[in-house]
Amino acid sequence: VLYLRTKSAPKLTGLMGEPEALLSTDELLKQMLASARKNAQDLLDRLAQGLGLRRDARRLAAQRIRAIYADLLDLAARLKFPRWPQQTPLEYLPELEKAFPESRAELWLITRAYQRIRYGELPETQAEITAIEDAWKQVQAEGRGILVNGSSFRK
């Protein structure tokens, strides 16, 4: 709550001698709230820009992560490890680890990124997107090797 206190000042009067205010309390509060919102949005935009991604770029990055996860599901299904409709991404992760045993860290990174954007978060930095894309390349390479050779790279 914001309280404004003023010193005694001569009253402004209108043509009829009645006191005249520049702004009502409600109008003043509305203008202050609008200014605070604009300042907060400007600060968030500058912060996002400083981190490497603007709001539109962050939305596109989120779409990229969704596409990577969908491609991951397709590849896993081709390897006979489909995701069942009732499985959450975290419940499905052990199946993915069976399908791609050499890429556990990458699968975790992709799954967590997908889960965050699925519930409304957006990627913050270009470095985060690059790490997810690199993880996907690792998983793709392992999956292609399994498809071509008919076996995994299990140790």
At 123-133, the pLDDT tens digits run: 778 888 899 99
C-alpha dihedral, 65 to 67 to 72 to 78, nearest 10° = 180
**Spatial distance between the Cα atoms of 119 and 122, rounded to a whole number of angstroms:** 9
The pLDDT score that the predictor gives to residue 89 is 95
Query: 13 has which bridge partners?
Result: 19
The pLDDT score that the predictor gives to residue 1 is 44
The pLDDT score that the predictor gives to residue 153 is 47
The pLDDT score that the predictor gives to residue 131 is 93
Please compute the mean of the pLDDT values over residues 22-40 and round it to a whole number.
80
Q: Would you say residue 47 has pLDDT above 80?
A: no
**Spatial distance between the Cα atoms of 63 and 57, rounded to a whole number of angstroms:** 10
Task: Render pLDDT for 83-93 as a digit per residue (tens, 0 to 9).
Answer: 999 999 999 99
Name the DSSP class of 101: G
Look at residues 100, 90, 87, 101 and name the one whose alpha carbon lies nearest to residue 143: 100
CB atoms closer than 10 angstroms to residue 152: 16
Look at residues 137, 119, 145, 126 and name the one whose alpha carbon lies nearest to residue 66: 119
Confidence of residue 111 (pLDDT cuts 50, 70, 90): very high
Task: Render pLDDT for 50-98 as a digit per residue (tens, 0 to 9).
Answer: 655 577 788 888 899 999 999 999 999 999 999 999 999 999 999 999 9
